[in-house]
Amino acid sequence: MKKSVTLLLLFAASLFAIAGFGAVPDWHMSPDSGELIAPNIALAGLIVNRDNLNTLFISLKTTFNNAFSATTGQWQKIAMKVPSTSGQNDYKWLSTFPRMRKWIGEKAIKSLAGFTYTIVNDDWEATVEVNRNDMEDDNLGIYGPQAQMAGFSAAQLPDEIVFDLVNNGFTSPCFDGQYFFDTDHLVAGASVANKGTKALSAATLAAAQASYGAYRTAMKKFKDDEGRPLNITPNILLVPPALEDTANALMTVDRLEDGKPNPYKGTATVVVDARLSSDTAWFLLDTTKPVKPFLYQERKAPVFVQQTDPQADDVFTRKMFKFGAEARAAGGYGFWQLAFGSDGTT
């Protein structure tokens, strides 16, 4: 039966040639199975076969990886990367700020407070479809820029996650159950604030003292639950583009706008990011400690993925191959004592 089908196919191919469509296509017999192997037929452009598919997607992957490697972010300036080996990480250890003490008698073992703070990894993706017709028509130039953008977007994922944390810090809880930026974090039975409302200002010495100066002093006075100073050192002034000039003035000019000496010159590094959603909110951060104010939790770093099987359902029904990026990651809050946020409304 198989041989009869083979002969019929060869006969049909011969008719195809006799009818004026060119030479008999290169059908050939598999030496292993004895089955007839179909040729690659294309009237113009690229022949859609596995070799050409592999060549195309290797090129797209290279373009993706080059764009990924060339993209720089800002998240490392304010956050730390925490590796993850499962679907989620438990951060109850944040409930204690470990400090050395003089060892007299038995060790004072600090137990973890009864907080639950778990960060669950999310799935992330960016997918581009490649139309088979574009391959057959040799119209593939449109996919190079898309591969570059996919690589750029994948490299920017930590920034997107971390700066979303900053934007949501006034309304999202951290390890103690309070909002990350809040007025009533409980320390040794007393409420401690790391949230304000003062607008950032360099207009006068009094305005600078009431905003940047007051919140910087508040951070430096933070203590642990035993009443010992935490030695917080605010070193990052994080602002949106709308406050860039004000922040730079506070950190660089010798005299403020009222002509008085600027006591805050050089006390912090200005970080500006357009992902900050409020034009008035600004943030003071201490990133000098081993634990940073914000956490980027990474289960699987962004990687290039592809679907190039010519027999896949999407190729058969919709003529679409696919490529893109996948990742597993999430974000969370570290020690609230390392950050002070103002909504800038007063």
**What are the backbone angles phi and psi of residue 297, rounded to the nearest 5°?**
-100, 120
Condensed to tens digits (0 to 9), the pLDDT of residues 79-127 reads 999 999 999 998 877 766 566 565 655 544 444 444 578 999 999 999 9
Which of the two residues, 319 and 253, has the higher pLDDT score? 253
User: What tokens were used for 97?
Assistant: 């700020």
Helix residue ranges, H only, 137-261? 143-155, 157-167, 205-208, 214-220, 244-252
pTM for this prediction: 0.79
| Helix (H), strand (E), coil (C) string for 262-305 | CCCCCCCEEEECCCCCCCCCEEEECCCCCCCCEEEEEEEEEEEE
Q: Would you call 346 helix, strand, or coil by DSSP?
A: coil
Condensed to tens digits (0 to 9), the pLDDT of residues 119-165 reads 999 999 999 888 888 888 877 788 899 999 999 999 999 999 999 99
Give every strand in the sheet of 294-307, ordered side by side: 79-83, 294-307, 320-333, 122-131
Least confident of 100-109, 118-127, 246-255, 284-293: 100-109
